[in-house]
A and B are shown apart, each in its own frame.
Chain A
């Protein structure tokens, strides 16, 4: 009798019923992995703010929800005298004084031009805005509560000096909000080091809404080239809303707190 040993890993040595069972076990294991991927938390930990513009927003669209097609109101604020020019139809529109408002699609990248910068007249900065989430205000109040995009004098000068400024604007979690008297003209800013991801920090502090990128890049050739304007996605211009009317104080007859 020939004593040749069979190799354990050889397919020829497998018992008959073990092969389909093992195959079935692998398929069930793969199905469990797919469910866990679909049940991940709605945060951006798999993304980074340093990804190319538009990547984070497109990933947000894939999460579902009423995001595609919604024009999220955005207000660009800046130092006094700054002029803002949004881009539409492949060219920059007429400049308007800050604050300037517009409705922007989620996931798209909007390039705009900043001119008439104080102490740096004659220089231009071309930041981009990427809206990655939306608000859900009561009906009729969307224009009164836009996402504020603040351009400070310091950041504009840093960009003109060759630096790259990246800001992730997020909606604060009321339970984590700092008890400070917030000035509406001055947004609370958390500075992070270069080793940290601003998007991940914003995810921990609240709900990231938009990414602002300011650099010293100037357009190669024409400033309104489609590549530079990211295809100039649809833009909905918005006017400055009228302030809320103060509630009138009506005098009620005989109402010396007429308490029984």
Chain B
């Protein structure tokens, strides 16, 4: 019998470790790697179970009807119902009409389970972690801002890079440059639903019929008789064929050859709407106390403007933005020896939510906040596809030429060309209405 010698301080494993032990260690490591890589991505956050969830008692009042329990119905359901259908189990913190228990845990995404009035708490709608602004985007309409590529105005005032939803203004400075200013972006909650339909039914049937009889052909006995023709018909080739066929689909698209409308607005209504009740809209003075309400329009749109901030270029030199996108207004400053021409443009809407068919009134307030006069001020709003301009609703407080032009989304580009130069501190208001498609 031999004895293995033990060397004090030796940390190296014995060289006689068997091959099966190595295989086992590698398989264990691989198994741990597999569980960390795949199982986490496949873990459902809320698997459905057929067992009744404890801790969700039926509530009175607005209790969901299905949770109401009577002795008779319990016995009835216990017989047959649950064998055919397993109703989804509610999570412990789901809203079921029962008043919230003090101290009950409300963590998790389902705490937003009852956002309508009548619930015991009101909270902001749920959104995925890391997402700010209006979510999901397919439930909102947006108007305003400047999508990339940013709008550029050529020397002949040709506008390039004007996308849908864009609202910009451009003007000329005393030293001959043309500058562009974008408005803020207005979100409107207006989901529109449609449906895909499929109708299936019996369209053809095959039946087998028994043979009822047999017809045997017999050899004909012919008799030829030749008669003189009494008349001749000359066949004529058909020149054309007229047929009636129902129209199945018709779509009209008229290309725009140029300006489709040229209207000079007579003036502006002498009343301000409720949603326009901001100092900056009334007289162009920006009041810090109104920032909270004004920012409501922009806080959600801010996330969507992460890659489309206003781009202002003067004489091929980028302008320095004084105020950021997190504010309601946008002010641009240019270090020029002749002065600092600036234009501020603010956009608000009459409502934050709309159904298809509703009308929304937009208000644009623009002001010359620089230290020199600017000229040829032009405000352009490229409407999105689901916004239809209501004809005859454009107003402008200054003398301006109003022009409409069809865009790619089969909506319109609205364009106001202010006739007179804007002196320092002077501004104007534009209003128009759109119908949600």
Contact = CB atoms under 8 A, between A and B. Distances in A.
A43 to B, nearest CB: 13
A176 to B, nearest CB: 9
Nearest to B274: A247
B356 A182 contact: yes
Contacts of A141: 116, 189, 353
B404 to A, nearest CB: 15
A223 interface: no
Nearest to B275: A247
A interface: dominant SS: loop
Contact of A137 (B19, B115, B268, B388): B115
Given A31-B37, A38-B42, A184 B189 contact: no
Interface in A210-260: 212, 225-227, 230-237, 244, 247-252, 255-260
A97 B34 CA distance: 57
A165 B198 CA distance: 6
A231 B137 contact: no
A132 B329 CA distance: 41
Interface stretch (B166-174, B223-231, B312-320, B424-432): B424-432
Interface stretch (B63-71, B213-221, B339-347): B63-71
Contact of A233 (B27, B88, B141): B88
A69 interface: yes
B139 A136 contact: yes
Contacts of A51: none
B104 interface: no
Nearest to B367: A260
B26 A257 contact: no
B193 interface: yes
A259 B37 contact: no
Interface string B86-121: 111111011111000000000001101111110000
A180 B437 contact: yes
Contacts of B193: 147-148, 169-172, 187, 209
Interface string B176-194: 0000000000000101111
A23 B87 contact: no
Given A27-B31, A230-B85, A66 B113 contact: yes
Interface in B328-358: 350-353, 355-357
A27 B90 contact: no
B52 interface: no
Given A89-B66, A231-B81, A259 B428 contact: yes
A66 B88 CA distance: 14
A108 B65 contact: no
B48 A61 contact: yes
B312 to A, nearest CB: 23
B284 to A, nearest CB: 6
Contacts of A39: 41
B350 A247 contact: yes
A39 B38 CA distance: 10
A109 B84 CA distance: 12
A147 B215 CA distance: 65
- The 8 tightest CB contacts between A and B, nearest first, are A34-B38, A38-B41, A69-B94, A231-B85, A234-B66, A226-B81, A88-B65, A163-B201
30 contacts: A23-B23, A27-B30, A67-B46, A69-B94, A69-B96, A90-B76, A103-B64, A138-B352, A140-B117, A142-B116, A166-B198, A169-B193, A171-B193, A172-B193, A172-B194, A175-B385, A177-B386, A182-B356, A189-B197, A191-B197, A194-B200, A231-B86, A233-B85, A236-B65, A247-B351, A250-B271, A255-B271, A255-B282, A259-B426, A260-B284
Interface of B: 19, 22-23, 26-27, 29-31, 33-34, 37-42, 44-48, 62, 64-68, 70, 73, 76-77, 80-82, 84-91, 93-97, 109-110, 112-117, 122-127, 135-141, 189, 191-202, 268, 270-275, 277, 282-284, 350-353, 355-357, 367, 384-386, 388, 397-398, 409-411, 425-429, 435, 437
Interface of A: 16, 19-21, 23-24, 27-28, 30-35, 37-39, 49, 54, 58, 61-71, 73, 88-90, 93, 103, 105, 107-109, 135-145, 147-148, 150, 155, 158, 161-175, 177-184, 187-194, 196, 198-199, 201-202, 205-207, 209, 212, 225-227, 230-237, 244, 247-252, 255-260
Given A173-B138, A174-B138, 12 more contacts: A66-B112, A66-B126, A89-B66, A135-B191, A136-B127, A169-B195, A182-B437, A187-B194, A192-B198, A226-B84, A249-B272, A251-B271
